Amino acid sequence: MATTEPWLMENGNLKGMSKETRHGRTVHNMSSSSLRKKSDMTLVSKVPCGIVRKVLANLQEVILGTKLSVLFPAIPLAVVAQSYGFGKPWIFALSLLGLTPLAERVSFLTEQIAHYTGPTVGGLLNATCGNATELIIAILALIQHKVDVVKYSLLGSILSNLLLVLGTSLFCGGIANLNKEQKFDRKQADVNSLLLLMGLLCHMLPLMFRYVGKLDAATIEKQTLELSRVCSVVMLIAYFAYLVFQLWTHREFFEAQEEDEDDDVTTEKAPVIGFWSGFSWLLLMTAVIALLSEYVVGTIEEASESWGISVSFISIILLPIVGNAAEHAGAIIFAFKNKLDISLGVALGSATQIAMFVVPLSVITAWIIGINMDLNFNLLETGSLALSILVTAFTLQDGTSHYMKGFVLFLCYIIIGACFFVSQTPLNQANDVNLRVESSTGAIFKA
């Protein structure tokens, strides 16, 4: 049950509960809300002590208020496995499972806080916490000098959203609505595609920089690093401009469409927990995500060796699928209901946030802590990213959808997944492959 502090009241009603606020819910919140369930407060309401009743109500809303609550036991199991020296693959698997409900709960808590702060602050909070798992994993991997893991995991998140989430959403939506023409608003898709193409340019230039001129490897590496840092600053400027565009000047492009809904997900208007309760839970969830992310980063190589799967495949394919399962499932559910604007907002919005915010922020963070991370994601990885963005842009160009478009996107993801499954390039050796390709290219031109 939500607390109603006096400063949150205005004319007898909660602040932030205006029509603007209700219709300003982000598509990420809308998507995750499809996995929530109403809590039965019958037993809790009978507790005589007010403080105990509020604590139990908060626990029931936050912990049991999601259909993914069955995965919460994986969190203490991961801690126990780490404390008692269980096998690293078990720690890795349990940590991944534990991250799945946490990502959905962070979305829930940001939405609860937005009820009190208004849609703009709530949108900024969601923009910061929307991909908290990826950002925390990236920072922890950087601290452990695992730059390749950072690049692989962030690339995997982008590919997963563009091909897997969007593909399965369009496919399932098309199958469920065979007799209807599925349409969506192209304005949002056009803005996100434009930003993704800009991000791709910032990845392509450092990669192509290696094949220009006749400089030695050390000079090329230095100049590539400098170019990447400049591009990262520009990408962050573009992302903050995108936030202004999304939250202030053109908010109507990105608002979730709730007017014609009659289901429980979209008609829920009142917050179920108080502001300070939500803020405290958000800090706690972030701390748990950081702990499990540290386990994931510390055990990924041992899990790779034990399972016989390359680190690149685990980082690019498994991490994004498991870590963002809640958001992905929500996008598919709304596609079934013929609400493609929400599904597209989840997939493209998350991909844009990773590409234009988390990736450049990781480069800047690495720069601050004295680690060299550039935007050269190597030839195979950058090529996969480029083709994925182009295929997605072509798929969305006419503002209509059918199941064949989604099926093709999904098959593209399967092909890329097979590519990285077959590829067994060890960590820290991808750049050596690039240099060998560069040397071979130079020899051909000389010949």
Full DSSP string of 359-395:
HHHHHHHHHHTT----S---HHHHHHHHHHHHHHHHH
State residue 180's pLDDT score. Answer: 78
For residues 232-258, give the mean pLDDT.
Answer: 82
State residue 441's pLDDT score. Answer: 46
State residue 355's pLDDT score. Answer: 94
Indicate if the pLDDT at residue 405 is higher than 60.
yes
Q: Are the C-beta atoms of 358 and 135 separated by less than 8 Å? A: yes
Indicate if the pLDDT at residue 445 is higher than 50.
no
Expressed in percent and rounded to 5, the helix, strand and coil fractions of the chain are 75, 0, 25
Question: Rounded to an integer, what distance in angstroms lies between the CA atom of residue 303 and that of residue 296?
Answer: 9
For residues 385-407, give the mean pLDDT.
Answer: 92
Q: Are the C-beta atoms of 371 and 71 separated by less than 8 Å? A: no
Q: Are the C-beta atoms of 292 and 99 separated by less than 8 Å? A: yes
Q: Which range, 8-17, 260-269, 359-368, has the best average confidence (pLDDT)?
A: 359-368
Q: How far is CA 427 from CA 89, 107, 312, 365, in A?
A: 18, 33, 8, 21
> Which amino acid would we find at residue 120?
T
Confidence of residue 265 (pLDDT cuts 50, 70, 90): very low
Higher pLDDT, 338 or 231: 231
Mean per-residue pLDDT over the chain, rounded: 80
Continuous segment of H or E residues that includes residue 125: helix 119-129
Higher pLDDT, 400 or 107: 400
- Map out the domains of the chain with their CATH numbers: 27-253+273-425 (1.20.1420.30)
What would the two tokens of residue 352 be?
Answer: 């844009």
- What pLDDT, in 10s, does the model give residues 169-204? 999 999 988 887 788 888 888 999 999 999 999 999
- Beta-carbon-side half-sphere exposure of residue 61 (alpha carbons within 13 Å): 21
Cα-to-chain-centroid distance, residue 118: 23
Indicate if the pLDDT at residue 438 is higher than 80.
no
Indicate if the pLDDT at residue 54 is higher than 60.
yes
What would the two tokens of residue 160 be?
Answer: 């997963």
Higher pLDDT, 198 or 441: 198
Cα-to-chain-centroid distance, residue 373: 21
Cα-to-chain-centroid distance, residue 248: 23
The structure tokens 């098959």 sit at: 411
Confidence of residue 269 (pLDDT cuts 50, 70, 90): low
State residue 24's pLDDT score. Answer: 44
- What pLDDT, in 10s, does the model give residues 15-40? 444 444 444 455 555 555 556 666 65
Q: Maximum Cα–Cα distance for the chain, whole Å?
A: 87
How many percent of the chain have pLDDT more than 90? 40
- Beta-carbon-side half-sphere exposure of residue 366 (alpha carbons within 13 Å): 27
SS3 447: coil
DSSP letter (8 states) at residue 315: I
Flag the least confident range among 73-87, 181-195, 269-283: 269-283
State residue 20's pLDDT score. Answer: 41
State residue 262's pLDDT score. Answer: 45
For residues 427-435, give the mean pLDDT.
Answer: 54
- What pLDDT, in 10s, does the model give residues 313-343? 999 998 888 877 777 888 888 888 888 888 8
Confidence of residue 258 (pLDDT cuts 50, 70, 90): very low
